Amino acid sequence: MPTVRDWNAMGNVRRITTWDEPVMHTETQPVREFGDELRQLVADMFATMAAADGVGLAAPQVGVDLALFVYHCPDEDDRFQHGVVCNPVVELPEGDERNFDASQEGCLSWPGAYQLLSRPDYAICSGQDENGAPVVVRGTGLLARCLQHETDHLHGTVFGDRLSARSRRKLNAERESKRHLYPADWPIHPKGRETGDNGTGTDN
């Protein structure tokens, strides 16, 4: 598999779609063709994810109706893993084996907004890589959350759909307050900077 640096070098940064757009709320089509066109899409997704400082990105987030996501994400031991999963299926523990982690979650397609969301702290994701070969990813910590979050996107679900009405309102209010920081073609053009009372810019 190419390294993250290799993928980024081959890719072009694309605009990230937002939750306002229909592609974010529809079931994606299975990946059936594995070739140069798919590999270029994967490279573009890695480059876009890096430009947006993300840990995962699904194809609908670059406006493509395919069941595919990429990731470059740490596990519970802070070891970064990266890869490509086409046609993913996520398995979660059940019964006494299921433990939940309540952590802040955000989305590159609703940038600047975060809310607490409980998800299982372990996930197994199986599918195919960019060449069509079988792949299995076992996720712990943030990687487990990432695998669930990105697979949700491929079924037309955004993490806001999993929040209570009150939490969703808070999420949307925070998003609205930060909307001016994100150009319409973000991250092709970078995020803006907030200015504090002392007039200095601070990253958000």
Q: Six-digit token pair at 117? A: 């969301």
Q: Which helix (H) or strand (E) holds 38?
A: helix 36-51
Q: Is 33 a catalytic residue?
A: no
Of the CA atoms within 13 Å of residue 186, those in its CB half-sphere come to: 18
R_g (Cα) of the chain, nearest Å: 17
Q: Is the dihedral of CA 119, 121, 126, 128 positive or negative?
A: positive
Q: What are phi and psi of 29, to 5 degrees?
A: -90, 145
| Candidates 21, 105, 150, 174; catalytic one | 150
Closest CA to 107 of 65, 68, 165, 49: 49
Q: Which residues are catalytic?
A: 150
